[in-house]
Structure 1
Amino acid sequence: MTNTPQSIDLLIEARWIAPVDTDGLLKNHAVAVHQGRILDLLPSGEAHLRYRPAERVRLDDHLLIPGLINLHAHAAMNLMRGLADDLPLMDWLQHHIWPTEAEHVCAQFVRDGTRLACAEMLRGGITCFNDMYFFPDAAAEAAAELGMRAMLGITTLEFPTRYASDAEDYLTQGLATRERWLNHPLIGFCLAPHAPYTVSDTTFERIATLAGQLNLPIHCHIHETAQEITEALERDGIRPLARLHKLGITGPNFIGVHAVHMNDEDLACIAESGSYLAHCPTSNLKLGSGIASVVKMQQSGIAVGLGTDGAASNNRLDMFGEMRLAALLAKGTSGDASALPALEVLRMATLKGAQALGLGHKIGSITPGKAADLCAVQLNTLETRPCYDPLSHLIHVAGRECVSHVWVNGRCCVEHKKLHSIEQNDLESSIALWQNKLEVRRKAPE
């Protein structure tokens, strides 16, 4: 008696699959997807006998990977891409970015900027981003419209902006937004104190309490520049990370962003507390902040994910670029050509990011039971041939232009390199309007 094949929503057959949670590649395998989740991962021949899909996608010259996870972004800042280049961090922030934000940032700015960022990220294989910006309700609307997974920051500062008046107001508004989106399958939240130099001890203590009560990750810039540490020692008599540890911020739910200037005590603190770090190599180089010691971090037992930072300081939301640069910097700074092999870099861009966000049980690997967040990378162009090692090609040869298909929660968001769910003309019109507004400010006399 022959078993009847099981009806499912989707069967994706690929020449190569990188599950990420195991070593190596699977060749000529298939991923069975039903109701947004990965049902099975098995040889293609077996899949034909076991499943009857409503839709079948054949990827004959592709590597299928988990959707990439951008562990640190300021999505709406896509509207400030290239606005103030070739400047160090504090000059860039204080004299260009913050004044522009004070004049222009509103809910519509964040909605339009985040729509642009989501479009860019999805086309580049990013299925989830961890954001830190204002008006998170508008960011949630944009991400939901494009069908993208987002962890949105309840951003907190001591000084007023067009979004909130003080730290308590930031937290109150952010938590109310979280309540409104609590049951959405793709939208989650982090507590996001901006940085030790913009947030007080009292606010950090309140955030530590909220994180414990609500089981939320904490996402914070830390040790990005040498100047930040020098000023902290003069002001507080203690290094910024040590201060956060003393205030109860570090721990398994803490994501420290940048971590460029870390001494042995700092690394020990992160390792012993079980905290995570988000490495943003392009932004750190472009702002002249330095190079994070990722090899030393990993040797200390620290889990490191990858982020782009915002497009105002990168200027791309391109995880392929971050993966390649992270690998090359690790090899160059350590003098060890074996540092950060391709599979480990891919894990940084997928599973490590998922674990940092508390989503390791849900995304980050091609594992039955997890959400079907997937990215197909085409490896049949002249630029990608010959291909002896698809994982090596993924990191050192392929770029985001090689992404052909992207699924989030089993739903196709990019098909044959074309974005679903948004009209490009509508998006381009909103970008042009904001460019005109921001250019008027740039040209105004000081």
Structure 2
Amino acid sequence: MHDAAPQSIDLLIEAAHVVPVEPHAVVLDDHAVAVHRGVIVAVLPIAEARQRFAPTETVSRPQSALLPGLVNAHTHNPMTLLRGIADDLPLKVWLQEHIWPIEGAVIGPEFVADGVTLALAEMIRGGTTCVNENYFFPDVQAAVYKRHGFRARVGLPVIDFPTAWASSDDEYFERAGEVHDQWRDDPLISMAFAPHAPYTVNDANFERVRMLADQLDLPVHLHLHETAQEVQQSIDEHGQRPIARLDRLGLVNDRLIAVHMTQLTDAEIHLCAERGVSVVHCPESNLKLASGFCPACALERAGVNIAIGTDGVASNNDLDMFGETRTAAILAKAVANDAAGFDAFTALRAATLGGAKAVGFGDRIGSIEPGKQADLICVDLSPIETQPLHHVVSQLVYATGRHQVGDVWIAGQPKLQSRTLVGFDLDAITANARQWRARIATLRNGA
């Protein structure tokens, strides 16, 4: 009896360690991942893979860990162009006296496209392969993500005042419908409703969002319980806390992507668990704006799906998911007063599969399993900063820097090869960022 002929595939990635995320807390040493037509077809020992497959291309990384691409579950990526513009201020002052006036002067399709392009280069170099985006001009964002073959859930904005994107309630919803229709069947780009926050969206608009989200089966992505002030304002104006108000309006369900969640009672934590709400933890933004602490350990123990997001660069000030995941893990322990809480495997899961589930992509990305999309990253663990290697996932969460990401694939397509970006002109992106700096400086000085 002869062995079957090797199966032809597009790509075989061999690594010292494969961290599949699902099953939980597993590291597979000297394993390979076989990819064909953008899909993972097998995860198996290297020796076996070499016998079973005849790949068009083999990428061998004998000192690297291969893991799912990181999912940045909450960003405002066009705001990369505002990095560091109004630092060291509380949320309300930062937003109302600095960010909104500057945005009012510069926002438009060009600002959005250039900001997303700058963000994409930074994210890919840091191992992020999917984003949950929340900003104006979603049509422009979607086109830029698509052009670079990047996976995104793009928010359709709803807010109670006129902006460059829409001038009335009806126009926000009309434009949302048009953009959703345009991208309805795309393999990489999907939409979500993105009502800004409880303090900027009225009951009638929330009810419209709920009705349309139900009809179109779309997630609802919003800032919720971000600060104590937001909660108090809701009690004063509506007689109830923001999440209770959303519950009254029918929005607390498994479509809700609740971002920040720093002010939570035990009952609210259990409500989220019961209803299948996903919580996106943005620790560095919350720390920097002194907004409060998300009780990540308590949420996780209650069974709530937790994802990790960087928030916008204007309040972070980077799109570094390795840094964010480390901060999330360390902060969770301090808040819970429990050194064993939110361990390395749990943190890495939140940054990958937790994010994928939160944005409604859990069936296609977030773990290295046959049948899922090949959104994968190789992380070089050979530098002295991650030696000696006692525990792969501990090193990834507590010691690894984003500069150690060597290779990135999205749907099997290379986006970073040996630290070199594919399809980006870094000099042009840098020059463009500089001209935006000059334009914004002129506007601010003239104001």
Shorter-normalised TM-score: what interval? over 0.9
Rounded to whole Å, the distance in 2 between the matches of 1:168 and 1:265 is 35
Rounded to whole Å, the distance in 2 between the matches of 1:77 and 1:312 is 6
Deviation sequence 1:59-106 (CA, Å, 0-9, x none): 100111100000000010000000100000010010011111111100
Correspondence 1:188-207 to 2 at 5 A:
188-207=190-209
* Worse overlay, 384-393 or 423-432: 423-432
1:6 paired residue number: 7
> Structure 1 counterpart of 2:84, which letter?
G
TM-score, structure 2 normalization: 0.98
2:324 paired residue number: 322
Deviation sequence 1:202-221 (CA, Å, 0-9, x none): 11111111111111011010
Q: Is the 8 A contact 1:282 1:308 kept in 2?
A: yes
Rounded to whole Å, the distance in 1 between the matches of 2:102 and 2:174 is 25
1:357 paired residue number: 359
Shift of 1:314: 0.2
Rounded to whole Å, the distance in 1 between the matches of 2:231 and 2:184 is 37
Structure 1 SS opposite 2:348: helix
1:303 paired residue number: 305
* Worse overlay, 431-440 or 240-249: 431-440
TM-score, structure 1 normalization: 0.98
2:180 paired residue number: 178
Q: Which runs of 5+ in 2 are unaligned?
A: none
Deviation sequence 1:311-352 (CA, Å, 0-9, x none): 000000011011100111111222211111111101000111
Q: How many residues align?
A: 445
> Structure 2 counterpart of 1:11, which letter?
L
Rounded to whole Å, the distance in 1 between the matches of 2:200 and 2:171 is 15
1:246 paired residue number: 248
Structure 1 SS opposite 2:315: coil
Query: Identity over the aligned pairs, expressed in percent?
Result: 45
Structure 2 SS opposite 1:238: coil
* Worse overlay, 430-439 or 68-77: 430-439
Shift of 1:425: 2.0
The question of 1:65 aligning with 2:63 is answered no
The question of 1:221 aligning with 2:228 is answered no
Shift of 1:113: 0.2
Deviation sequence 1:87-146 (CA, Å, 0-9, x none): 000100100111111111001100000011111111100000000000011111211222
Shift of 1:178: 1.9
1:50 paired residue number: 52
1:438 paired residue number: 440
> Structure 2 counterpart of 1:415, which letter?
Q
Q: Which runs of 5+ in 1 are unaligned?
A: none
Rounded to whole Å, the distance in 2 between the matches of 1:134 and 1:404 is 32
Correspondence 1:21-36 to 2 at 5 A:
21-22=22-23, 23-36=25-38
2:427 paired residue number: 425
Shift of 1:443: 2.6
Q: What is the aligned counterpart of 1:401 among 403, 408, 424?
A: 403
> Structure 2 counterpart of 1:19, which letter?
P
Rounded to whole Å, the distance in 1 between the matches of 2:267 and 2:425 is 50
Structure 1 SS opposite 2:269: helix
Shift of 1:184: 2.4
> Structure 1 counterpart of 2:13, which letter?
I
Shift of 1:2: 2.8
2:287 paired residue number: 285
Correspondence 1:372-411 to 2 at 5 A:
372-411=374-413
1:346 paired residue number: 348
Rounded to whole Å, the distance in 1 between the matches of 2:275 and 2:310 is 25
Deviation sequence 1:130-166 (CA, Å, 0-9, x none): 0000001111121122221010000110100111112
Shift of 1:170: 1.5
Rounded to whole Å, the distance in 2 between the matches of 1:174 and 1:209 is 13
Structure 2 SS opposite 1:24: coil
Rounded to whole Å, the distance in 2 between the matches of 1:434 and 1:170 is 27
Q: Is the 8 A contact 1:146 1:420 kept in 2?
A: no
> Structure 2 counterpart of 1:2, which letter?
D
2:238 paired residue number: 236
Q: What is the aligned counterpart of 2:96 among 94, 115, 121?
A: 94
2:369 paired residue number: 367
Q: Is the 8 A contact 1:276 1:302 kept in 2?
A: yes
CA RMSD of aligned residues (A): 1.0
The question of 1:108 aligning with 2:110 is answered yes
2:151 paired residue number: 149
Deviation sequence 1:359-409 (CA, Å, 0-9, x none): 111000000000000011100011111111110000010010110000000
* Worse overlay, 333-342 or 111-120: 333-342
Q: Is the 8 A contact 1:145 1:421 kept in 2?
A: no
Shift of 1:434: 1.1
Structure 2 SS opposite 1:312: helix
